A = this chain, B = another copy of it.
Amino acid sequence: MDYDITQYDRPSVAADIVVFTVRRGESESYRHLSKPVLSVLLVRRTEEPFENMLALPGGFCCREETIEETAFRKLKEKTGVDSPPLSLLCNLSKLGRDPRGWIISCCYWTVIAYSKATTDKNAQWYEVSLKESGGKHTLILTDDSGREYVSEVRLHNPNELYNQSAEAEIPRNSLAFDHAEIIVNALLKLRSSLEKPYAAFRLLPESFTLTDLQQVYEAILGRKLLMANFRRKIAPYVEETGGIEGGAGHRPSKLFTRKAAAPDHNAAL
């Protein structure tokens, strides 16, 4: 390959990260449990293009760092959290998707335990809900004051996403760039990753009740699960700590941890 690295045009390379968490609401009474909700971390853009619109956190690669390190660095800047492992989602390189020029965006997704410690006031958690009807997806994001941001998303073939060269369509919704579609795809990957409970473990403290775990699943999957079946399914991955969590107006729950030698322990999300 006769390639002089300085001879040709080079694109700018950016990393965008879809960060999910599951937050617990407040209890309504001494008896009822609170309902956890799935949320995604977004920033409000302060400049053109898409000024004032919501967008995924991200930024441009600098020399001497890998794309993943760019993602880690940007995440740390905006949220103060330490870098969780990232999973690759897609590469976006359509011309015209960013009016600033020739920009390639590498998108990753991950989950982190909830923390209010977002050092950047611009970054906030938005509740996520996904509706599906007849192949069409509707992404609904809700901020803490109840304001809704609705995006209609037409899904491309997940693994063949964005490999057409047609001019990128500017979306007509509340999110910058094609970020609504990215979030939906990340959510679908997160959901299918729950075949194994490792992503859920990252959202919980060291010891947790099986109901906690189930509620994380339900928040992510957006539907109720049957307790008996759920417990059988995750049984190989957890073990009792011996601890008990009581104090609520009903039978106390046993505490569990993830099993050290769980099957496929090193599997990625």
Contacts and interface: CB of A to CB of B under 8 A. Distances in A.
Interface of A: 1-3, 5, 8-13, 45-47, 59-69, 85-88, 90-91, 93-95, 100-104, 106, 157-160, 162-165, 266-269
A215 B116 CA distance: 55
Nearest to A1: B47
Given A13-B104, A45-B1, A68 B157 contact: no
A1 B59 contact: yes
**Chain A to chain B: the 4 pairs with minimum beta-carbon distance, closest first:** A159-B268, A68-B163, A10-B10, A66-B93
Nearest to A160: B85
A1 B45 CA distance: 7
A111 to B, nearest CB: 13
B95 A68 contact: no
A222 B233 CA distance: 30
B12 A87 contact: no
Contacts of A95: 64, 66
Contacts of A269: 159
Contact of A88 (B47, B61, B90): B90
Contacts of A60: 1, 3, 8
Contacts of A164: 66
**Most B C-beta atoms less than 10 A away, residue of A11, A63, A85, A87:** A11
A91 B63 contact: no
A29 to B, nearest CB: 41
A93 B67 contact: yes
Contacts of A13: 10-11, 13, 104
A94 B69 CA distance: 10
B160 A61 contact: no
A162 B68 CA distance: 8
A9 B63 contact: yes
A69 B94 CA distance: 10
A65 B12 CA distance: 14
A12 B12 contact: no
A5 B12 contact: yes
B3 A102 contact: no
**Most B C-beta atoms less than 10 A away, residue of A86, A101, A159, A268:** A159
Contacts of A160: 85-87, 268
A269 B46 CA distance: 39
A2 B45 CA distance: 10
A217 to B, nearest CB: 20
A59 B12 CA distance: 17
Contacts of A101: 5
